[in-house]
Amino acid sequence: MTGQDAVNTAKAFNDRLDFDGVVLTKLDGDTRGGAALSIKTVVNKPIKFVGTGEKMEAIDVFHPTRMSDRILGMGDVVTLVEKAQEQYNEEEARKLSKKIAQNKFDFNDFLAQLNQIKKMGNIKDLVGMIPGVGKAMKDVDIKDDAFKHIEAIIQSMTPAEREKPELINGSRRARIAKGSGQSIQEINKLMKQFEETRKMMRMMQDKGAMMKMMKNMPKMPGMK
């Protein structure tokens, strides 16, 4: 359960078996980077795999440079992309792209995307893979059930409301709030986030709009 326990266990096994490599389980964050360094120093054997969850599929190949990049706040885009590719296939991506282009992205799609993100692993670890964000989020507590209230709100909508969010008026919001155990303010917040997400997705597909947005962005200091 602690870094020193991992080192002691690795040494005890190596003294008796002289193994070829280590599997570091319960790697629930980059805080165990010290344990990884210590194991390599004490037993002089490479860490081959890491366990990131409770299930058998939550075993990944260990990449020391990626861990060091995350610890230094440089992110780990490669691993983030690999995790995303494991959850998505080309057919699903095409269907989603078509819905976005036709402005038909709805709450069913929104919920599906949340579920895909959850399958990718620990939320805080995922955020830490984004360059520049890891250090900023170091002391921020992001719970695994961070999306739970959003799921409750969406699941309290009728099928028609999920497909056509524009149907959700004041009285419907009150009913959804009651059914999900959330406040009206939380419903309004989610509706606003959903619209902003939908707008951004449309913009990303419109190359002309993206170029216009880039031109209107304020220049960074030192840029001409």
pTM over 0.75, yes/no: no
Residues 200-221 have pLDDT tens digits of: 777 766 655 445 544 554 443 4
Query: What's the burial of 51, exposed, middle or buried (CB within 10 Å: 0-12/13-18/19+)?
Result: middle
Q: Does 49 score more than 60 pLDDT? A: yes
pLDDT for res 200: 78
Mean pLDDT of 63-79: 61
Share of the chain above pLDDT 90, in %: 21
Residues 160-187 have pLDDT tens digits of: 999 999 999 999 999 999 999 999 999 9
Residue 22, strand partner residues: 47
pLDDT for res 5: 81
**What is the average pLDDT score of the chain?**
75
In SS3 terms, the chain reads as: CCHHHHHHHHHHHHHHHCCCCEEECCCCCHHHHHHHHHHHHHHCCCEEEEECCCCCCCEEECCHHHHHHHHCCCCCHHHHHHHHHHHCCHHHHHHHHHHHHCCCCCHHHHHHHHHHHHHCCCHHHHHHCCCCCCCCCCCCCCCCCCCHHHHHHHHCCCHHHHHCHHHCCHHHHHHHHHHHCCCHHHHHHHHHHHHHHHHHHHHHHCHHHHHHHHHHCCCCCCCC
pLDDT for res 51: 81
Q: Which of 3-7, 22-26, 82-86, 135-139 shows the lowest mean pLDDT across its residues?
A: 135-139
Q: Which of 54-63, 84-93, 132-141 shows the lowest mean pLDDT across its residues?
A: 132-141
Q: Does 76 score more than 80 pLDDT? A: no
Q: To which residue do tokens 């095409």 refer?
A: 94
Better-predicted residue by pLDDT, 155 or 196: 155
Mean pLDDT of 135-156: 73
Q: To which residue do tokens 């909508």 refer?
A: 157
Mean pLDDT of 24-47: 75
Residue ranges covered by each domain of the chain? 1-62
Share of the chain above pLDDT 70, in %: 62
d(CA 186, CA 192): 10
